[in-house]
Structure 1
């Protein structure tokens, strides 16, 4: 999995927000203090943990985010059972990574439940960057415009957007958030490849992101 470039020194110097809710990017080096995922809460939003999700046989790990952190998923249902299962496990994966960051736990078991292979290694490295920088996160991230393609049995691709304008890096000791203005780079386009394992879980095998993509711009 390729990982986004997030210059820690620059973020600390400029009090920049830190992109947090994904571990993949078209960039190479991953540093954890640039800009974290935040979200503009629209008039119609879906909860990060919808009341009903596609059923499956796996016992999913329970993840509870801190009260000052939220992931919001808009348009995250299609009416197709398989596609909705892909989206459900993706939202759970996003929550799992967010949780691991807030808990400063690169070895959080939920990561291995929703990631696999290089994507799992990248997610753990991503969390470790936060730990090294003594940072966490606060605020809200909005995810929208999901497009799922189930191209083979147990295999799918998923693209979606995020808006990161209302979530920020937080100093773990002081609790102070590092805020910066919203720019085009607050919008990201994600491209993922998903694989369904023997437990019925759609795991993320590949995850890349691109900042400022026109697809996600307002």
Structure 2
């Protein structure tokens, strides 16, 4: 998957997200916007999810359109901390796609699950693609998800993403772009995560290895 691979999972890579922002619409003035939910100690303004988390945090609602599906493998390890990291990582990824699917940054929830440079990157990426009416449809599979816990408030997570069954689409017309599967359709990610005062595991750092041998079938 060539063009799809360059756009879709790049939303989860800070460096790629910032690069794509520079290619956005000239009329897109992202510098004047305040990132929703990014204030210290503030919670996101979106409605809380109907699915309560184990820690009781008032998480923003995440609801994706029917044609945008994600499969997260290995959600339960039996270790409470690892399971919490896995769950919040899945929610974090979903907030970026929610923003693009509905063209709404304020209620996306990105500011709840991302922080620092990672938050700036995904926010600017989503804003740029919303301006271009770019979204996606199909299925993304997240697999071989592994968590390393350093202490009660810091962890690292690695995982693979299979993009071969998803297409870019025009958000307004709904027209989908054809998929071409290649080695670049399989991506390896390494995420740095830390637990905030509310008990949410936030992504603060992320790196990508597209076409990684670790993720190819």
TM > 0.5? yes
Q: Label 1:91 to 1:21 Cα distance change in 2 as closer, same or farther (>3 A).
A: farther
User: Paired residue for 2:189?
Assistant: 190
User: Paired residue for 1:170?
Assistant: 169
TM-score of the two chains, using structure 2 as the length reference: 0.79
Counterpart Cα distance in 1 of 2:204 and 2:102: 23
> RMSD value over aligned CA atoms?
2.5
Correspondences of 1:110-121 after superposition (within 5 Å): 110-121=109-120
Runs of 4+ deviating beyond 3 Å: 15-18, 25-28, 106-109
Consecutive unaligned residues in structure 2, runs of 5 or more: 25-50
How far is 1:206 from its partner? 0.6
Report the 3-state secondary structure (helix = DSSP H, G, I; strand = E; otherwise coil) of the residue aligned with 2:82: helix
How far is 1:169 from its partner? 1.0
Is the counterpart of residue 205 in structure 1 residue 195 in structure 2? no
When you count helix as a share of all residues, which structure comes out higher?
Answer: 2
Spell out, residue by residue over 1:135-165, the C-alpha distance to the aligned partner (whole angstroms, 9 max, x if none). Answer: 1211110000011011123000000000001
User: Paired residue for 2:56?
Assistant: 57
Q: CA contact under 8 A between 1:61 and 1:110: conserved in structure 2?
A: yes
Spell out, residue by residue over 1:69-93, the C-alpha distance to the aligned partner (whole angstroms, 9 max, x if none). Answer: 1111112221100000000000111
Q: Label 1:109 to 1:176 Cα distance change in 2 as closer, same or farther (>3 A).
A: closer
Spell out, residue by residue over 1:81-137, the C-alpha distance to the aligned partner (whole angstroms, 9 max, x if none). Answer: 000000000011111111011112234351011001111111101101212322121
Q: Label 1:54 to 1:122 Cα distance change in 2 as closer, same or farther (>3 A).
A: same
Counterpart Cα distance in 2 of 1:145 and 1:157: 14
Counterpart Cα distance in 2 of 1:53 and 1:91: 15
Counterpart Cα distance in 2 of 1:79 and 1:110: 27
Is the counterpart of residue 30 in structure 1 residue 29 in structure 2? no
Consecutive unaligned residues in structure 1, runs of 5 or more: 1-9, 34-51
* 132-141 vs 151-160, greater mean Cα deviation: 132-141
Q: CA contact under 8 A between 2:162 and 2:185: conserved in structure 1?
A: yes
TM-score of the two chains, using structure 1 as the length reference: 0.78
Q: Label 1:17 to 1:30 Cα distance change in 2 as closer, same or farther (>3 A).
A: closer
Counterpart Cα distance in 2 of 1:159 and 1:177: 30
Is the counterpart of residue 104 in structure 1 residue 93 in structure 2? no
